[in-house]
Amino acid sequence: MITIGTLALQGDFAEHEAMLRRLNVNTRQVRSANDLTGIDGLILPGGESTTFCNLMQNFDLYEPLAAVVRSGVPTWGTCAGMIVLARHAGDLEFPTLGALDIEVSRNAYGRQVESFEADLSVAALGEPPFHGIFIRAPVVLSVGPGVNVLATVTGGSLRDSPVAVRQDTVMATSFHPELTNDERFHAYFLDIVREAGSSVGK
């Protein structure tokens, strides 16, 4: 059975785990490099990106996480996880993993009180539209030529921008699918995992 690791240092990893269990896959909380051994996929959840990176540094997880992504293990970052995976996050005081050829700006949609929801057209998921929940979400400023844009939010000066992207086996969303009852994004990620057919240590 597939085992998905969720980085469990901070943020809403428990909500991802609950969604994955509904889809009948094993989950493992990742807090050390040893926890990465043998996983088939990895999720970096939402949270506060500065705190997230500080904890990654304190737990000596930067290089182990980067190695997992480089090895081809499918990885998905949501909200803060997108920031951590990006090639560049201009206002982040910590390094990123540089796994996605995107540039992001943290919290550019606004503060907590300016969080919003939007129905998104996602061709990879089919109909109906996916209801996106955006909480202090990062804005994708640019994407590289190898990045496939899965969804774009429209309306407003900052909202005509990508909010879901994929590059090979790495995916990121600026919104929180784990806070909905819609399992389709998690199922889509599991399809990526199955197609990759790889895990650390094999």
What is residue 107's predicted lDDT score, i.e. its pLDDT? 64
Q: Could you tell me if residue 154 is inside a domain?
A: yes
In this prediction, residues 135-149 reach a mean pLDDT of 92
pLDDT at 158: 55
The DSSP 8-state label assigned to residue 147 in this structure reads: P
Domain count, the chain: 1
The catalytic residue positions are 79, 176, 178
pLDDT at 105: 87
9-13, 58-62, 109-113: which range is least confident on average?
Answer: 109-113
Give domain status of residue 153, yes or no. Answer: yes
- What is the distance between the alpha carbons of residues 175 and 162, in angstroms, rounded to a whole number? 11
pLDDT at residue 93 in the model: 85
Distance CA 82, CA 101 (A): 11
- Which CATH number does the domain housing residue 187 bear? 3.40.50.880
The parent domain of residue 22 ranges over 3-196
Residue 198 — pLDDT band, cuts 50, 70, 90?
A: very low
Please check whether residue 202 lies inside any domain of the structure.
no
Beta carbons of 162 and 151 less than 8 angstroms apart: yes
pLDDT over threshold 60, residue 202: no
Instruction: Kindly report the number of other CB atoms within 10 A of residue 33's CB atom.
Output: 15
Q: Examine the pLDDT at 19 and tell me if it is beyond 50.
A: yes
Q: Is residue 21 part of a domain?
A: yes
Structure tokens at 147: 């990045």
Cβ neighbors of 192 (< 8 A, separation 6 or more) are 41, 74, 166, 169, 171
- Phi–psi pair at 4, nearest 5 degrees: -110, 125
The pTM of the full predicted model, rounded to 2 decimals, is 0.92
- pLDDT digit string, tens, across residues 50-80: 888 899 999 999 999 999 999 999 999 999 9
pLDDT, mean of residues 36-54: 92
Q: Give a yes or no: residue 102 inside a domain.
A: yes
Residue 201: inside a domain? no
User: Domain for residue 112, yes or no?
Assistant: yes
